[in-house]
Structure 1
């Protein structure tokens, strides 16, 4: 509920609206239970015992009409929200969105900045107040990209591209994670999204260009080896065709788990 972006705020609004609509049934029901229990207590001589009671048109209207209206209102809220918050729908802004290509690996996240020509692993820097357009795919099993405070989650799938638009209202650090089980390194498959001022983002890009190694197809094949607890690091340059090569499966598939006996081998710790 601590939304820090327009999409997250809209998601929270839908949740609160849905809860409010459902309380229209929940609150009167609780009150009615307490009231009936009090009224029909054994010591109340005014309560009438009517074993012959069978039907009441008024009660039928209430018990069927109110839930029907609640479902209609909930359906309307969800219908409108689903279209307004379509992850493929760009965020309205006078600023050009920052482009980020995302590849989910076992068990880490690769972020490619095609316009800036750099990349990072398990660290995502974006300019605050400017929309970010994510293009996402997976080099392994299906996964789920999620930054809870900024809004909607989206699936990453092998051989295809999904899209997501998010924005951070102000500078800050936000926890990002994999929201779908993807193997024994799943619990460590998280990252930090850093929303920084525009000059801070330019400085981060400049620093990335001066450190780290180049990300080409050879270094990518080394990166995609299974590993967990990966510390964040950057690549100073990126093969411009790498993301499309991953999507179109033009690279050899990354190796799966190596089973030598009753249990799996220990996953290596990748550090840069």
Structure 2
């Protein structure tokens, strides 16, 4: 008769299986920055972690050391059952947390000003503008300087600072590219500003970091950071397309809820469309007409 697997073998196999599942779910994120903003945020994370570990690790070690030293069998331990107060001990106990708060507060204060989303990124390259509109459930990217627009695909030149103007055509959402940094909310009728830069070529995942309905799980996009020549070819290819002009009526039709939308592009863009979207609080909801169709 075949032998049943031993508990140790079963546990080892289960651990290996879980490790494979965890590793397969891993992907580059904030710990693998591709731009200066994400790199600065990673530095804040590691600096804050170091300050907290400088307190947590000694406390854990001292907890074990005190338990071992003051065990019942240790006759050398000095017990003071009548002890009540020590000014030096109180100073030590309160000074360490106070210093930790000062260090963490200083890190947060400096980082908040250095990485402020509306703050332009210092660079010799000219900053380009991309306007972002969150819809249900896809992302619309407008290139006002190039006169084109894309859906669920963002292409930027490497080394060029990008000023994002971000709004929503419906419910509140959140624009986030982990490897480039700085999550920022998109809200209807409001304009948020975010500056990012990709310092190395690659494809980076962008996503919605705020639940916005049943299609939220599929509301992601790709950011392609390419050399300037490749970006110019991308713009030329988009302009040569046979798609419709993205004006207000086309935007209203595009903004209707849809899921798993493939990347697409518009060869022409109505000037000032983004400001019109902000002023009108996004696209109006479709209303049923008398014949049963949607307006």
Q: What TM-score, normalized to structure 2?
A: 0.85
Is 1:56 the counterpart of 2:90? The answer is: no
1:255 positional shift: 3.9
Q: Which of the residues 155, 162, 173 maps onto 2:192?
A: 162
Deviates further, 210-219 or 116-125: 210-219
Q: Which of the residues 48, 56, 61 maps onto 1:26?
A: 56
Aligned to 2:264: 233
1:49 positional shift: 2.1
Deviates further, 132-141 or 34-43: 34-43
CA contact under 8 A between 1:226 and 1:255: conserved in structure 2? Answer: no
Is 1:218 the counterpart of 2:274? The answer is: no
Distance in 1 (alpha carbons) for counterparts of 2:276 and 2:92: 60
Aligned to 1:174: 204
Q: CA offsets, 1:228-248, max 9 Å, x none?
A: 111100000011121111000
Distance 1:69 1:251, change over 3 A: closer
Q: What TM-score, normalized to structure 1?
A: 0.92
Aligned to 2:17: none
Unaligned stretches of 5+ in structure 2?
Answer: 1-30, 289-295
1:42 positional shift: 2.2
Unaligned stretches of 5+ in structure 1?
Answer: 259-272
Is 1:86 the counterpart of 2:113? The answer is: no
Write out aligned runs for 1:5-20 (5 A): 5-20=35-50
Aligned to 1:131: 161
1:249 positional shift: 0.2
Divergent runs of 4+, >2 A: none
Aligned to 1:47: 77
1:48 positional shift: 1.8
Distance in 1 (alpha carbons) for counterparts of 2:234 and 2:225: 11
Q: CA offsets, 1:64-94, max 9 Å, x none?
A: 0000010011111101110111100000001
1:154 positional shift: 0.8
Aligned to 1:116: 146
Distance in 2 (alpha carbons) for counterparts of 1:208 and 1:98: 17
Equivalent pairs, count: 257
Q: CA offsets, 1:89-142, max 9 Å, x none?
A: 000001111210000000100000000000000000000111111011111011
CA contact under 8 A between 2:169 and 2:283: conserved in structure 1? Answer: no
Aligned to 2:170: 140
CA contact under 8 A between 2:168 and 2:282: conserved in structure 1? Answer: no
